[in-house]
Amino acid sequence: MEPFKVHILGCGSALPTLRHFPSAQVVEVRGKLFLMDCGEGTQIQLRRSRLRFTKISAVFISHLHGDHCFGLIGLLSTFGLLGRTAKLTVYSPAALATVMQQQMDTFCRDLEYEVDFIPVDTMVQQVVYEDRSLTVETIPLEHRVKCCGYLFREKPTLPHIRRDVADFYGIPVSQFDNIKAGADWTTAEGEVVANSRLTTPADAPRAYAYCSDTRYIPTLHERLKGVTTLYHESTYGEDNHLRAEKYFHSTAREAAMVARQAGVCQLLLGHYSSRYEDEQVLLREAQEIFPNSLLTDENKVFDV
């Protein structure tokens, strides 16, 4: 299967600590790289990850809180210093474009590439990006400011050719696309070889949902059907449940409830409050509800 990975660059929350960077991660899909949020230190973490700056084709910003976008202006400047010429598309709530344009006019006046800001409607779920193999949809979330997550879905692929059978019947490679599309094969002797003997089923499409800052939404799972891997913020444990409600955040237990209700394969926890020196307490609370819960950490890579 083609690579579909999540590279964690930062999984802390607003208050800086020595243990975690603010929110940022790279979604790698079939050789393409997409940056999810861009907190302070994202560039340093990109260097440590050994991911190529030049391969980032788009940036997705969930909301306009500093721990999710303070690193963006520095990244744009570095792209310029590296000689980038390819357009960079930034998907975000509409207000970011005005803020960033002011900064770019001051700090990035000589960029030799275009930065295209695409406003997203955080109130609706809709496709905002599409290419031959992938779609990206917004996921409406509920936070103190306009906020949305993003859902990456692979498009269905064609079946696989059974090379042993194809070689046995001497089928030329030039006919493989037709067979993948459903055609049978007729031998020189007139024998019809059914398509079902020539192919194996296509890989099931995978999907990754990035649910940034949000309070617990009882109906969120309805938007996540078919998701393979879910990242859901888990800022607090149950010991700070009232604080989570006050600041429109979620507990690890609530994140696990969403994962269980949505029927995902695995849950990634993140956006940890600086109050926790050991996130194991968050992991235990999540695993009581959804056993396949995992802690994110800087420089970890997860297969979707």
| CATH assignment of the domain containing 25 | 3.60.15.10
Task: Please state, in angstroms and rounded to a whole number, the distance separating the CA atoms of residues 212 and 122.
Answer: 12
Whether residues 219 and 80 fall in one domain: yes
**C-alpha dist (Å) from residue 212 to 37, 70, 226, 235, 280:** 9, 16, 19, 10, 20
In a shared domain, residues 74 and 172: no
The pLDDT, as a whole number, for residue 241 is 97
Pairing of strands 192-193, 199-200: unpaired
pLDDT of residue 146: 97
Q: Are residues 31 and 114 in the same domain?
A: yes
Does residue 213 have an active-site annotation?
A: no
Local structure of 80: helix, strand or coil:
helix
Comparing C-alpha atoms, which of 195, 188, 209 is closest to residue 270? 209
Which of 199, 227, 259 marks a domain boundary?
Answer: 199
Boundary (domain end) residue, out of 173, 199, 225 = 199
Same domain, 8 and 34: yes
Q: Judge if 141 and 172 occupy the same domain.
A: no
Nearest to 260, CA basis, from 296, 288, 295, 301: 288
Distance of alpha carbon 67 from alpha carbon 77, whole angstroms: 18
Element (H, E) at 36: strand 32-36
d(CA 301, CA 23): 15
Q: In terms of domains, do 74 and 127 share one?
A: yes
Annotated active-site residue in 37, 67, 116, 167 = 67
Domain match, 33 and 116 both: yes
Q: CA 165, 170, 172: angle at the middle one, nearest 5?
A: 105
Structural domain of residue 164, as residue ranges? 160-199
pLDDT of res. 99: 95
Average pLDDT per 10 consecutive residues for the chain, totaling 304 residues: 94 93 97 96 95 94 98 97 96 96 94 96 98 96 98 93 90 91 89 91 94 98 96 98 97 98 98 96 98 98 97
State the burial class of residue 102 (Cβ atoms within 10 Å of its Cβ: 0-12, 13-18, 19+): exposed
**Distance (Å, whole) CA 223 – CA 239:** 28
pLDDT at site 1: 77
- The residue among 170, 199, 228 that closes a domain is 199
- Asked if residue 120 and residue 11 are part of one domain, the reply reads yes
Same domain flag for 21 and 126: yes
- 128 and 76: one domain? yes
**pLDDT reported for residue 274:** 96
Report the candidate in 8, 87, 17, 2 with the shortest Cα–Cα distance to residue 275: 17
> How far, in Å, CA of 4 to CA of 25, rounded?
13
The SS3 call for residue 29 is strand
CA distance 43 to 279: 25
- In this predicted structure, what is the pLDDT of residue 49? 95
Same structural domain for residues 183 and 272? no
Half-sphere exposure of 15 (CA within 13 A, CB side): 6
Q: Alpha carbon of 224 to those of 39, 139, 188, 218: distances in Å?
A: 25, 9, 50, 12
The verdict on 36 and 114 lying in the same domain is yes
Show the beta-strand stretches assigned E in 81-228. 88-92, 115-119, 127-130, 134-140, 148-154, 160-161, 185-186, 192-193, 199-200, 207-211
Kindly state the tokens that stand for 101: 């344009």
Report the domain count for the chain: 2
Residue 23: what pLDDT?
98
